[in-house]
C-alpha cells in the first residue's frame, strides 16, 4: 500500500503519556487514602473552588433560572433526540431463553448497573452536550443512581447550562468537582455518594488516564485519550467544507489529531492552504488549540484510490469519521473501524457531538478497532442463567464429567457424578476421560 504524506504528525497522543500516568497515580492514591478531605484539597488546588460540592435542589433551580429560554429549548431538543435514539438501542437488547437439549433451558438477561458516574467536561469549554449524552443514556438504560460530575469555576461553580442539562436528563446528584478528583470521588463513593459501578464521559488526558487506572475496580465506557477525527474526501468534496470540519475538531485541544485522507492531490493542497486561514479567524483560546493540533498532530495523506483510502482509514480507526465522497453506500458497507460515521456533506461531527441523537462519547486513540461508543448497552450487564429437569441435566452431566476429567479437574467432574448418581440410581455411566 502506498501512502503519500503531504503532512506528517510530529507527535502522537502518547507523546506525554508517562508524565500523565505518574501525576494521576499520585492523586488517586492520595484521595483513596484521604477521602473527602483529600478530594476537597485537590478541588481547591486545581479548580480554586471551595463552594458547594453536592448541589442542592435550590442551587439547581437557581442555576436553571439563569439559562436563557432559547438555550433551554435547544437543550431539550438535543435531549429528546438522544433519548429517542437510546430508547431504540435499548429495544435491541432482549431477554430470551432457549431449550438447549430437551429439559435443559438456558437464558440471557440484561440488567442495568445500579450506579453510573457521568463526567462532564467544564474547564476550557462547557460541554453541555456531554451531560445530555451520558446522563440520558444512563437513565434510559435504567440505572438507579446517576451522578453528573463537572469541574466548577472559581467563585462561580458549574456552568448553569450544564446544571440544567444534567438535571432535565435525569441526574440524581450533581457533583461540583472536576478532573481526577471528580473521577475518584465517584469511584470511591465520597461525599455520601454510592460507589459508581461504571464511569462514563469524555475528558482530558488526566481524566482519561484516571479512568484507565480505575478500570477493573469499576467499569468504564472505554479507554480513551484526546479526541481525534478523520475526513475521507474525493474530488467531489468542497475543500472549504473539509477544511472547516478539520478545524472544528482541532479546536478541542492542543493534542487533538485531525487527519485528511484523499485520492485527489489538488483537494489536499487546497485544504492545507485553507486550514491555517480558518484557524486564524477563531477566538483566542480556540485558535491556540487548533494551531497546535494542526501543527503537531495533523496528517494529510494521498492514496491511489478509494479502496486504499478505506484501508488507511481502518488502520487509523478514528473516533470520528467523515466521508465526503461519491457513493456513500459503498463507504458505509466498506468501512469497519470508527467510533461514529458521518456520511455526506449534509452531516458533520458537530451534529453528532451536540444534537442529532447519536452519542458523542466515542473510542479514541485507535480503540475503535475493537469497541464502539457510549450507548445504553454500556450500562447493561448481559448475564446468563440456566435451569433443567433431571432428564435434561443427564446428557450435560455426562459430557461435563468426561470433559472435566480430561482437563484434570476432578472436583468439577464429581459435581456431575453426584447428580447422575442421585437422579438415576439404577443406571451406570461411563464417566472416564478415556475413549
DSSP β-bridge partners for residue 10: none
Report the CATH number at residue 272: 3.40.50.1980
Of the candidates 191, 221, 251, which is a domain's last residue? 221
Are residues 216 and 103 part of one domain?
Answer: yes
Backbone angle region of 357, left / alpha / beta, with phi > 0 → left and psi within -120 to 50 → alpha: left
Does residue 198 contact residue 379 with C-beta atoms inside 8 Å?
yes
What amino acid positions are annotated as catalytic residues?
319-320
Measure Cα distances from 109 to 93, 383, 385, 386 in Å. Answer: 9, 5, 8, 11
Are residues 74 and 34 part of one domain?
Answer: yes
DSSP β-bridge partners for residue 115: 145
User: 79 burial class (0-12, 13-18, 19+ CB within 10 angstroms)?
Assistant: buried
Are residues 346 and 397 part of one domain?
Answer: no
Are residues 212 and 269 part of one domain?
Answer: no
What is residue 193's predicted lDDT score, i.e. its pLDDT? 98
Residue-level pLDDT, tens digit, the chain, 435 residues: 678 999 999 987 665 567 889 999 999 999 999 999 999 999 999 999 989 999 999 999 999 999 999 999 999 999 999 999 999 999 999 999 999 999 999 999 999 999 999 999 987 778 999 999 999 999 999 999 999 999 999 888 999 999 999 999 999 999 999 999 999 999 999 999 999 999 999 988 899 999 999 999 999 998 777 899 999 999 999 999 999 999 999 999 899 999 999 999 999 999 999 999 999 999 999 999 999 999 999 999 999 999 999 999 999 999 999 999 999 999 999 999 999 999 999 999 999 999 999 999 999 999 999 999 999 999 999 999 999 999 999 999 999 999 999 999 999 999 999 999 999 999 999 999 886
Q: Is residue 377 part of a domain?
A: no
Q: For 157, list phi and psi in degrees, rounded to 5.
A: 95, -160
Q: Is residue 5 part of a domain?
A: no
Are residues 245 and 217 part of one domain?
Answer: no
Q: Is residue 260 part of a domain?
A: yes
Are residues 358 and 403 part of one domain?
Answer: no
Cell digits of residue 339: 467510533
Question: What is the rounded CA–CA span in Å between residue 202 and residue 130?
Answer: 7
What is residue 192's predicted lDDT score, i.e. its pLDDT? 97
Does residue 257 contact residue 13 with C-beta atoms inside 8 Å?
yes
Question: What is the rounded CA–CA span in Å between residue 390 and residue 420?
Answer: 9
Q: Is residue 138 part of a domain?
A: yes
Of the candidates 341, 372, 403, which is a domain's last residue? 372
What is residue 17's predicted lDDT score, i.e. its pLDDT? 66
Sheet with 219-220: strands ordered across: 173-176, 145-150, 115-119, 198-200, 219-220
Are residues 285 and 154 part of one domain?
Answer: no
Cell digits of residue 181: 478528583
Alpha-carbon dihedral 342, 344, 347, 352, rounded to 10 degrees: 0
Are residues 101 and 181 part of one domain?
Answer: yes
Q: Give the CA radius of gyration of the chain.
A: 26
Question: What is the rounded CA–CA span in Å between residue 414 and residue 412?
Answer: 5
Q: Is residue 2 part of a domain?
A: no
Give the pairing type, strands 4-7 and 96-101: unpaired
Signed CA dihedral, 177, 181, 184, 190: sign only: negative
Q: How many CB atoms are located within 10 Å of the residue 300 CB?
A: 23
Nearest by Cα to 423 from 388, 399, 384: 388
Are residues 326 and 191 part of one domain?
Answer: no
Question: What is the rounded CA–CA span in Å between residue 202 and residue 221?
Answer: 9
Which residues lie closer than 8 Å to 346 by C-beta, 6 or more apart? Answer: none
Does residue 2 contact residue 304 with C-beta atoms inside 8 Å?
yes
DSSP β-bridge partners for residue 300: 7, 260
Cite the DSSP H helix spans in 91-159: 128-141
> Which domain does 80 fall in, by range?
17-221
Are residues 230 and 120 part of one domain?
Answer: no
Q: Is residue 382 part of a domain?
A: no
Sheet with 4-7: strands ordered across: 4-7, 299-302, 258-262, 229-233, 320-324, 340-343
**In total, how many domains does the chain have?**
3
Q: Is residue 3 part of a domain?
A: no
Cite the DSSP H helix spans in 326-428: 328-334, 349-354, 390-407, 410-423
User: 191 burial class (0-12, 13-18, 19+ CB within 10 angstroms)?
Assistant: middle
Q: State the pTM of this model.
A: 0.92
Measure Cα distances from 190 to 297, 375, 383 in Å. Answer: 38, 26, 29
What is residue 1's predicted lDDT score, i.e. its pLDDT? 62
Are residues 113 and 145 part of one domain?
Answer: yes
Does residue 209 contact residue 20 with C-beta atoms inside 8 Å?
yes
Q: Is residue 114 part of a domain?
A: yes
Are residues 398 and 350 part of one domain?
Answer: no
Question: What is the rounded CA–CA span in Å between residue 250 and residue 235?
Answer: 23
Of the candidates 221, 245, 260, which is a domain's last residue? 221
Amino acid at each position: 500500500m502506498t501512502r503519500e504524506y503531504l503532512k506528517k504528525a510530529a507527535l502522537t497522543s502518547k507523546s506525554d503519556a508517562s508524565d500523565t500516568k505518574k501525576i494521576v497515580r499520585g492523586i488517586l492514591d492520595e484521595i483513596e487514602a484521604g477521602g473527602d478531605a483529600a478530594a476537597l484539597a485537590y478541588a481547591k488546588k486545581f479548580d480554586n473552588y471551595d463552594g458547594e460540592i453536592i448541589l442542592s435542589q435550590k442551587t439547581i433551580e437557581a442555576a436553571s433560572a439563569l439559562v436563557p429560554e432559547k438555550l433551554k429549548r435547544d437543550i431539550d431538543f438535543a435531549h429528546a433526540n438522544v433519548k429517542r435514539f437510546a430508547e431504540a438501542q435499548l429495544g435491541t437488547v432482549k431477554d430470551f431463553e432457549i431449550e438447549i437439549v430437551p429439559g435443559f433451558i438456558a437464558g440471557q438477561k440484561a440488567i442495568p448497573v445500579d450506579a453510573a458516574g457521568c463526567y462532564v467536561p467544564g474547564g476550557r469549554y462547557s460541554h453541555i452536550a456531554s451531560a445530555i449524552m451520558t446522563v440520558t443514556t444512563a437513565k434510559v438504560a435504567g440505572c438507579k443512581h446517576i451522578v453528573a460530575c463537572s469541574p466548577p469555576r472559581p467563585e462561580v461553580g458549574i456552568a448553569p447550562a450544564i446544571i440544567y442539562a444534567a438535571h432535565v436528563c435525569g441526574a440524581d446528584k450533581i457533583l461540583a468537582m472536576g478532573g481526577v478528583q471528580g473521577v475518584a470521588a465517584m469511584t470511591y463513593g465520597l461525599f455520601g455518594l454510592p460507589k459508581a459501578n461504571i464511569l462514563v464521559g469524555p475528558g482530558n488526558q488526566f481524566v482519561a488516564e484516571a479512568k484507565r487506572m480505575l478500570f477493573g475496580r469499576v467499569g468504564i465506557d472505554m479507554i480513551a485519550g484526546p479526541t481525534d477525527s478523520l475526513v475521507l474526501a474525493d474530488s467531489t468534496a468542497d475543500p472549504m467544507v473539509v477544511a472547516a470540519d478539520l478545524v472544528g475538531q482541532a479546536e478541542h485541544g492542543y493534542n487533538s489529531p485531525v487527519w485528511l485522507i484523499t485520492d485527489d492531490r489538488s483537494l489536499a493542497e487546497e485544504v492545507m492552504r485553507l486550514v491555517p486561514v480558518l484557524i486564524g479567524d477563531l477566538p483566542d483560546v480556540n485558535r491556540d488549540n487548533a494551531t497546535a493540533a494542526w501543527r503537531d498532530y495533523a496528517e494529510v495523506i494521498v492514496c491511489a484510490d478509494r479502496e486504499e483510502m478505506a484501508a488507511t482509514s481502518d488502520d487509523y480507526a478514528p473516533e470520528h469519521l467523515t466521508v465526503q465522497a461519491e457513493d456513500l453506500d459503498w463507504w458505509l458497507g466498506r468501512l469497519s473501524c470508527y467510533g461514529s460515521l458521518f456520511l455526506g456533506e449534509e452531516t458533520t461531527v458537530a451534529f453528532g457531538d451536540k444534537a442529532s441523537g447519536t452519542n458523542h462519547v466515542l473510542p479514541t486513540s485507535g480503540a475503535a478497532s475493537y469497541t464502539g461508543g457510549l450507548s445504553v448497552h454500556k450500562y447493561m450487564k448481559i448475564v446468563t442463567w440456566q435451569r433443567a429437569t433431571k432428564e435434561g441435566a443427564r446428557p450435560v452431566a455426562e459430557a461435563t464429567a468426561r470433559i472435566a476429567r480430561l482437563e484434570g479437574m476432578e472436583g468439577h467432574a464429581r459435581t456431575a457424578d453426584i447428580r447422575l448418581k442421585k437422579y438415576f440410581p439404577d443406571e451406570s455411566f461411563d464417566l472416564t476421560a478415556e475413549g
